[in-house]
Amino acid sequence: MSDRSLYGSLQTLVSGGRTLSDEERLLLAYGPLLFWYEKNRRDLPWRKNKDPYRIWISEIMLQQTRVEAVKPYYFRFMERFPTVLSLAEAPEEELLKYWEGLGYYSRARNLKKAAMIVSESYAGAFPKDYTQIRKLPGIGSYTAGAIASIAFGIPVPAVDGNVLRVISRVTGSHDDILKQSTKRRVETLIAGVLKENEAGDFNQALIEIGATVCIPNGEPLCDACPFYTVCEAREKGLTGEIPVKTPKKKRKIEKMTVLLLEYEDKIAIRKRRSDGLLASLYEFYNVPGWLTGKQAETVAESVAGTVLTATKLPEAKHIFSHTEWHMKGYHIQIRTLNQSEVGEALIYDGWKEIQEKYPIPSAFSAYKKYLDQRYGGK
Ligand code: SF4
């Protein structure tokens, strides 16, 4: 008898023909899921050991970024900040530089704040307590659950978008997975089946199924899934309608014009405001709205000096959670610099030096690439 028909028979025995409860579905799939994970887990750098620091950094990086994209950042970060203490002592600008390209910079700032608390209040060792981990800045229920269960074997759930999708399908739930109440229900359900010291593997197995089998885009690979026999959405053909997500509000579109002001092989940048989007990072000079070439030259003359040449650059778009930037760009070479008229603090430096010293968000990557081609990248 195959494993699948064995579990099918077990399921009939448990249910006596009635519909399984959500908890029964998870309990029936518990063993197959752990077995599947042991055979199929990806070999990821942060899984080399159970160091809570490594798990924490990787989980924060993975919040908005794919695994493959995170890896190079993770290696670089761990080399420069190998311990909680080194992170606690990191100069903020350098830390942001190491985060450049990952976006959502508040994550990096919160990492430092949390590292300082762990250093000062817990002598550099992560607290072995879910509630204390959860209280650290930037750590929500998912990350706290991941650290507590994977590093310390504490039986607490770690429910992210992957897990919500898998559990909604397994249980045939049409609850909106963007609602906190749905997340809490799923957390309670998983907490009810977790066993001490297996919680880390169980949580990671669920996340892994969501990332590689019960995938977010495209058909789920049900034939390869350990939930096959107990999954309500598979059985009833509901995978196209579950999970349910309320459509997000439309993003606000902001038009802007980016001016790459260049004077004698030096490029102008400036520091952004200390609050709001991309706070305290650096950017190329830009103004709201779309300017014509003539208007761009006029602005350049008022903030930099007389214009030698003005070249139109490709348009670019960057999508944030709630906003989209639609950018036009001009490369403007300045003939005579008139810094006395500079109303905003512009820093002129070589492109290579700028790349080494100043964090410039990937929202400007189209214009960074242009400068890479002109001057050579890092
Ligand atoms: Fe997802 Fe299919 Fe597995 Fe159900 S059986 S959890 S729909 S991959």
Query: Which atom number of ligand 1 is nearest to the Cα of residue 228?
Result: 5
Range in 156-165, 187-196, 343-352 the model is least confident about: 343-352
- Give nearest CA residue, ligand 1 atom 4: 231
Cβ proximity of 256 and 288 under 8 Å: yes
Instruction: Please tell me the distance between residue 145's alpha carbon and the centre of ligand 1 in angstroms.
Output: 23
Instruction: Please tell me the distance between residue 209's alpha carbon and the centre of ligand 1 in angstroms.
Output: 8
- Give nearest CA residue, ligand 1 atom 2: 222
Nearest to residue 357, comparing CAs of 365, 366, 348?
Answer: 348
Structure confidence at residue 68 (pLDDT): 92
Residue with tokens 């890479």: 372
Residues annotated catalytic, as ranges: 59
Tens of pLDDT along 259-305? 999 999 999 999 999 888 899 899 999 999 999 999 999 999 988 99
Measured from the CB, is residue 213 less than 6 Å from ligand 1?
yes
Average pLDDT over residues 333-340: 83
Q: Is 182 helix (H, G, I), strand (E, B) or coil?
A: helix
Distance CA 125, CA 39 (A): 32
Distance CA 47, CA 14 (A): 35
Average pLDDT over residues 189-216: 95
Distance CA 145, CA 142 (A): 5
Instruction: Please tell me the distance between residue 227's alpha carbon and the centre of ligand 1 in angstroms.
Output: 6
User: By percentage, how much of the chain surpasses pLDDT 90?
Assistant: 79
Mutation pick for ligand 1 pocket among 225, 230, 242 (CB with most ligand atoms within 8 Å): 225
Tens of pLDDT along 234-253? 999 999 999 999 887 889 99
Structure confidence at residue 248 (pLDDT): 79
Average pLDDT over residues 136-145: 96
Distance CA 95, CA 116 (A): 14
Structure confidence at residue 11 (pLDDT): 62
Structure confidence at residue 15 (pLDDT): 56
| pLDDT > 80? residue 10 | no
> Model confidence at 12, in pLDDT bands (50, 70, 90)?
low
| pLDDT > 60? residue 93 | yes
> Model confidence at 306, in pLDDT bands (50, 70, 90)?
very high
| Partners of 285 in the β-ladder | 259
Instruction: Please tell me the distance between residue 170's alpha carbon and the centre of ligand 1 in angstroms.
Output: 6
Q: E strand or H helix at 349, and its extent?
A: strand 347-349
Written as six digits, the tokens of 170 are: 């397994």
Tens of pLDDT along 37-88? 999 999 999 988 899 999 999 999 998 788 999 999 999 999 999 999 999 9
CA distances from 8 to 13, 30, 211, 226, 239 (A): 9, 14, 25, 12, 20
| pLDDT > 90? residue 366 | yes
Average pLDDT over residues 111-124: 95
Segments of 47-126 assigned E as strands? none
> Model confidence at 331, in pLDDT bands (50, 70, 90)?
very high
- In 10 A of CB 219, how many CB atoms? 8
| pLDDT > 80? residue 377 | no
Q: E strand or H helix at 252, and its extent?
A: strand 252-263
Length of the chain (residues) = 378
Range in 70-74, 101-105, 115-119, 139-143 the model is least confident about: 101-105
Amino acid present at 64: Q
HSE at residue 34, side-chain half, CA atoms within 13 A, is 14
Measured from the CB, is residue 220 less than 6 Å from ligand 1?
yes
HEC letters along 6-47: HHHHHHHHHHCCCCCCHHHHHHHHHHHHHHHHHHHCCCCHHH
Amino acid present at 276: G
| pLDDT > 60? residue 378 | no
Average pLDDT over residues 292-321: 93
Distance of CA 211 to the CA centre of its chain: 14
Evaluated on CA atoms 11, 14, 16, 17, the torsion sign reads negative
Mutation pick for ligand 1 pocket among 207, 223, 231 (CB with most ligand atoms within 8 Å): 231
Cβ proximity of 73 and 85 under 8 Å: no
